[in-house]
Amino acid sequence: MLKVLKSFFDKRQSARVIDAGLVAQLTVHLEKLKSPVELVASLDDSIKSHELRAFLAEIAILSDKIRLCEEGNEGRKPSFSLGRPDEPARIRFAGIPLGQEFTSLVLALLHTGGHPPKVEANVIEQIRAIRGTFNFETYMTLSCHNCPDVVQSLNLLAVVNPNISHTMIDGTLFLSEIEQFKIKVVPTVYLNGQFFDQGRKTVEEYLAKIGTELAN
């Protein structure tokens, strides 16, 4: 069903009109939210910021547990954070998560709002056991087929462990960073400002790599 919704939102970029039937389906997913979720947008006067504002407003109106604030002050614009109102946000999207990344947004909303992720209990415990500060940044594009797995895996780490944060960065909107870091392949992941990894990986593979990093 999430694939159907992603396909719909791909098409609506130009139409900007949400079909009532698909809104009803997305509303059903958002009914799984158990606790409030806050979206904080950092915007400027660009066309993409106007698109992001409209996109987030259309999502927020579908659930009384989603609150939209447009007073963010992140350096990257357009972008938005996604988190619980009572704690600092640990998930950010620099860009508009449509295309391949729409499902990443839906899962981030659900997991942040208390809907349990579909992973084994021992994996959750491994994530919770991670010590240290881990600020991940993933450079991606909306047409990348491997990027959603990476974004969703690192978002999950951030949801479960308060010492971890993750930002998805649409390289087509932040070309200066792509040029600065000489990024040739997506997804490319940075950790605490340093190159960390490239290509597709699962949650379990990231846990193993983090373990290796901590051991060195």
List the CATH number of the domain containing 41: 3.40.30.80
pLDDT at residue 146 in the model: 96
pLDDT of residue 8: 45
Helix (H) or strand (E) holding 6: helix 2-15
Pairing of strands 91-94, 164-170: parallel
Predicted pLDDT at 20? 63
Identify whether the C-beta of residue 200 lies closer than 8 Å to the C-beta of residue 152: no
Tell me, what's the pLDDT at 4?
Answer: 45
Q: Which sign does the torsion angle of CA 157, 160, 166, 172 carry? A: positive
Task: Give the phi and the psi of residue 193 in degrees, each rounded to 5.
Answer: 85, 0
Collapse the DSSP code of 94 into the 3-class scheme (helix H, G, I; strand E, B; otherwise coil) and give the result: strand
List strands edge to edge, sheet with 188-191: 66-69, 37-42, 79-83, 91-94, 164-170, 134-140, 188-191, 194-198
Token pair in block for residue 116: 């349990």
Q: Which pLDDT score, from 0 to 100, does residue 17 have? A: 34
Q: Which of 114, 101, 99, 113 is nearest to 38 (CA)?
A: 113
Q: What is the total count of domains within the chain?
A: 1
Range of the domain at 181: 2-215
pLDDT score recorded for residue 55? 87
Q: How far apart are CA 199 and CA 206, in angstroms?
A: 11
Low-confidence ranges of the chain (pLDDT < 50): 1, 4, 8-19
Instruction: Using a cut of 0.85, tell me whether the model's pTM lies above it.
Output: yes
